[in-house]
């Protein structure tokens, strides 16, 4: 356990989520992916709400915490490939007259009078949001958000301060569903998942106590190496056959772009079962649904609804 804690707590300039933290939101304007003023306001509101929530939680926990928020825009001449983190970071640093994002982080800290700083890069195009830090595949202090999905900024920011995902691998998910189904680290995209679980509170430095629940998650495998996570993410986002635990049931089958897609089987906790085609996470195509009270629907499903 010591190794895990050391690895996650020593990530760059972000160590524990306490004190004053500079958060710089950078709205990235690519050709064809340009933010409107209304959209920028909307995203800023969402980010401020997420930070307010953290502040409120910190207060309740007796943790001193403040944020210094700034906003910037970056105009680029090219559309950045999803995942070209290093290339993009270099370009951003360059646009700021710096050699690396680390230098940008240092400059942000110097300007804000803080010791910890995080960049939140907001892209308008589609993609899965992620944090780029020591606890993930890449190393820097930045969060990459993609506009066409929900903005799970809370989840991603917590990564920068040591939090780990609870949706992978299956053994961890299984424990997380049982212990913390509403944890923001279990499902950052679901607005109902806003809770800070015991393990997260421990990893972000809000408590020195490892609760039995936190230990259960660690023993189940939470806090993997960067390579493990990279491999695991690939499996979670795209798998020919996998098992995904949800708060209300279990899915067995293929996953594409993080959605149930292809021929699979969903078993709900109440006993209902659907076996058949899935598209974009919903029953869509040919399949059979047996409801909890024993009714059977066999035929064509469209967007999760039986059509006959």
Phi, psi for residue 296 in degrees, rounded to 5: -120, 130
- Residue 226: enclosing H or E segment and its boundaries? helix 226-237
Chain residue at closest Cβ approach to Zn ion: 165
* Six token digits for residue 7: 């690895």
Rule CB under 5 A: which residues touch Zn ion? 165
CB of 166 to Zn ion, least distance (A): 9
Q: Is 113 left (phi over 0), alpha (psi -120 to 50) or beta?
A: left
> Closest Cα to residue 17, out of 59, 53, 65?
65
CB of 160 to Zn ion, least distance (A): 11
Q: Give start and end residues of each alpha helix (H) in 62-179.
A: 85-95, 101-112, 153-160, 170-179
CB of 228 to Zn ion, least distance (A): 13
Residue 176: HSE in the Cβ half-sphere, 13 Å Cα cutoff: 29
Using the minimum distance from each CB to Zn ion, give the nearer residue, 165 or 198. 165
Using the minimum distance from each CB to Zn ion, give the nearer residue, 227 or 293. 227
Using the minimum distance from each CB to Zn ion, give the nearer residue, 232 or 276. 232
Nearest 5°: the CA angle 47, 112, 151 is 15
CB of 155 to Zn ion, least distance (A): 6
- 3-state percent breakdown (helix, strand, coil) of the chain, nearest 5: 35, 30, 35
CB of 135 to Zn ion, least distance (A): 9
Using the minimum distance from each CB to Zn ion, give the nearer residue, 112 or 236. 236
> Closest Cα to residue 47, out of 139, 124, 121, 113?
121
Using the minimum distance from each CB to Zn ion, give the nearer residue, 104 or 154. 154
Using the minimum distance from each CB to Zn ion, give the nearer residue, 252 or 258. 258
What gap in Å lies between CA 72 and CA 171, rounded to an integer? 40
CB of 165 to Zn ion, least distance (A): 4
């Amino acid at each position: 356990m010591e190794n895990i804690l050391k690895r996650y707590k020593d990530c760059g300039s972000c160590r524990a989520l306490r004190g004053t933290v500079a958060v710089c939101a950078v709205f990235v304007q690519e050709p064809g992916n340009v933010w409107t003023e209304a959209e920028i306001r909307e995203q800023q509101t969402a980010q401020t709400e997420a930070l307010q929530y953290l502040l409120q939680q910190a207060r309740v926990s007796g943790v001193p915490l403040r944020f210094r928020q700034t906003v910037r825009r970056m105009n680029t001449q090219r559309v950045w490939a999803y995942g070209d983190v290093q290339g993009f970071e270099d370009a951003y640093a360059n646009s700021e007259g710096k050699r690396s994002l680390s230098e940008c982080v240092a400059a942000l800290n110097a300007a804000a009078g803080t010791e910890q700083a995080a960049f939140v890069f907001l892209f308008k195009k589609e993609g899965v949001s992620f944090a780029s830090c020591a606890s993930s595949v890449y190393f820097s202090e930045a969060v990459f958000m993609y506009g066409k999905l929900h903005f799970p900024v809370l989840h991603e920011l917590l990564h920068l301060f040591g939090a780990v995902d609870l949706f992978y691998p299956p053994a961890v998910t299984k424990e997380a569903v049982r212990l913390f189904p509403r944890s923001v680290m279990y499902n950052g995209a679901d607005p109902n998942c806003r809770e800070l679980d015991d393990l997260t509170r421990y990893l972000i430095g809000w408590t020195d106590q490892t609760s039995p629940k936190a230990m259960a998650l660690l023993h189940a495998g939470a806090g993997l190496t960067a390579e493990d996570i990279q491999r695991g993410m690939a499996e979670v986002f795209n798998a020919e056959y996998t098992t995904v635990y949800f708060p209300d049931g279990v899915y067995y089958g293929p996953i594409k772009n993080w959605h149930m897609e292809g021929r699979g089987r969903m078993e709900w906790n109440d006993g209902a079962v659907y076996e058949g085609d899935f598209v974009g996470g919903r029953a869509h195509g040919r399949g059979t649904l047996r409801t909890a009270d024993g009714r059977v629907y066999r035929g064509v499903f469209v967007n999760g609804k039986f059509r006959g």
